[in-house]
Amino acid sequence: MSFLALGVNHHTASVELREQVAFNAERLIALFTKTKQIPTLQDMVVVSTCNRTEVYALTEHPEDVLRWVAQSNSIDENLLLKHVYQYKDLDAMTHLMRVASGLDSLMLGEPQILGQIKTALSLAKDSSMVSSQLHRLFDYAFYAAKKVRSETAVGENAVSMGYAVAQLATEVFSHVSQLTVMIVAAGEMNTLVAKHLAEMGVGKIIVCNRTRVRAEQLAQELSAKVPVEVIDFEALDQNLHRADVISTCTGSLHQIISYDAIKQALKQRKYSPMLVVDLAIPRDVDSKVDQLDGVYLYGIDDLQSVIDENLSQRRQAALDAEVLVSQLAAQFVSQVKVRQAGQQIKHYRAHAEQQREAELKFAQEQLKRGADPAYVMELMSYRLSNKLMHIPSKLFREAAKLEDASHYEWLTDTVDQMILGQRQIKKQS
């Protein structure tokens, strides 16, 4: 059975096409119920995110997998074929390991994809779509992703605005769990900031937005991980002193946080440090705020330069990660071959045991008839030796016939070394 990776991603397909082939959990569960009745599609995992939809399957019929993706999404198969990629066996395993490690992500080194793959595996497993063999492949991919994270710097350093703000907070303040964060404007950028800070385990988040409905919506999204308070936009200045970290991104044409307002907030805080991050263009915060002792003011340009440098470092680290993935993929294939060899050895040993039992029975019958024991032993050893040597002799002859002589040379050299080793052991004993 071959291991197949088939899919589309941000490299091969437009957003529109990726939307067409996207699967959610509810739909997948319903599809799996029908799909597991199809013999060629009984062992597969579907990973579907905003940037990719991929099917990982153990199958000898990749065309059936492609057809399933197309039919499940009412897409013309020929159209899908123009954008889909397919990998098999070692290449498929390498691809899965790269994806799990964040090396194939739009944001190089991002960690979220690993959790998404684990969720996809769990869903397929719960739907009885995952064999022990397929599960073993994913377990090894997870092991590889962990190794890439621990042994390379591909996942280190901030490469998004949200993450960069969160990292700044850890650099300025020693106890993140005690921080109060104020989010001024609940747009896309600040939403990411808030979510990163919530993941880090800050003490509290205050959301301040012109539209209270949107502020309450963001509060609801965050409330499972951190206490959240919503305040009116008009109450911004009066509440600045409560915040250790302020992230603002309003899109206003005028400054909304003045020098005097921050100065007053500092006084109320007894000059305890404040981190103010201005992600807005035009700027939300008076630039003179940077002159105040105890205030750390960062603008979007400051963060972007840090991100660009960090991304460059990640790309360099990604080269090391790619080498490591290749090594781990080769290691996995070697392990598979060893397991397969073990099965073949077991099979050959069973065959040898059958021959031994047959020759022993033959020898016992000869002895019952009164044959000379010495003759019987010599005959049995001769017959057994011939029978056991039949298969290896045939292998040698077949190897000698091959156009590529390397296999025959390896075989003869290996056997010669083993015979020499046995002779040396005999001499020592």
Out of 15, 25, 50, 391, the active site residue is 50
Q: Is 191 exposed, middle or buried (0-12, 13-18, 19+ CB in 10 A)?
A: buried
CA distance 363 to 30: 64
Alpha-carbon gap, residue 331 to 329, rounded angstroms: 5
d(CA 366, CA 374): 11
CA torsion sign for 163, 169, 174, 175 is negative
Say how many C-beta atoms besides its own lie within 10 A of residue 51's C-beta.
Answer: 18
Q: Has 50 been annotated as catalytic?
A: yes
Q: At what angle do helices 300-368 and 132-151 cross, to 10 degrees?
A: 130
Task: For residue 219, count other CB atoms closer than 10 A to its CB.
Answer: 22
Q: Report CA 200 to chain centroid distance, whole Å.
A: 21
Query: By three-state DSSP, how is residue 49 classified?
Result: coil
For 56: left if phi > 0, alpha if psi spans -120 to 50, otherwise beta; the answer is beta
Decide the pairing of beta strands 44-48 and 85-88: unpaired
Q: Which residues are catalytic?
A: 50
